[in-house]
Amino acid sequence: MKRSALIVILLCIHSIWGCESGGSSDSVAQGKKDSSQVKVTFVELGSVNCIPCKAMQPVMKAIEDKYGDQIKIVFYDVWKPDQKKYAQQYKIRLIPTQIFLDAKGREIFRHEGFFPEAEIDKLLQSHGLKPVKKENKT
């Protein structure tokens, strides 16, 4: 990432912390999975207007497809007025930030910046998740 882009992201995060968060509704889809099957919740804090955050979108989709009901993926666009509060709630310093929570909602891992799918796989498998969908390598 270029230094100027990082500076812009950090300034934006600073402005998020400086603003009072608005809105009372959690408009982000929380998923419709049976919570008894969910072993890990993957919280992505970013923005649809952030280049590294955009790069995480297909990674999140692939992880969701690969692990099915074992994982719940939540995306918060912390640049939207009604979702700024999550930047403060999770005490993020930059975007994207990925936070992984266990079945009891306790943080088990945190990563800042783009997080490659292979590294997420290692993390999830170390916490007992198993791929339910085999990758096609044709």
What are the pLDDT digits (tens) for 101-138? 999 999 999 999 999 999 999 999 999 999 996 656 55
DSSP annotation of 137 reads -
pLDDT at 26 (0 to 100) = 37
Alpha carbon 88 to its chain centroid, in Å, reads 15
The number of C-alpha atoms within 13 Å of 127 and in the hemisphere containing its C-beta is 21
Residue with the larger pLDDT of the pair 74 and 27 = 74
Q: Where are the beta strands (DSSP E) in the chain?
A: 40-46, 71-77, 97-102, 107-112
Instruction: Please state whether the predicted TM-score (pTM) of the whole model is above 0.85.
Output: no
Q: What is the pLDDT of residues 4-50, one digit of tens each?
A: 444 444 434 433 333 333 333 333 344 455 567 899 999 999 999 99
Q: Is the pLDDT of residue 83 over 60?
A: yes
Q: Give dist(CA 84, CA 17) in Å, integer.
A: 8
Residue spans of the domains in the chain: they are: 3-20+33-126
Beta-bridge partner residues of 44: 75, 98
pLDDT at 66 (0 to 100) = 97
Q: What is the pLDDT of residues 91-111, one digit of tens each?
A: 999 999 999 999 999 999 999
Beta-bridge partner residues of 97: 45, 112
- The domain defined by 3-20+33-126 folds into Glutaredoxin (3.40.30)
Q: Give dist(CA 72, CA 36) in Å, integer.
A: 11
Tokens of 138: 């044709």
What single letter denotes the amino acid at residue 87? A
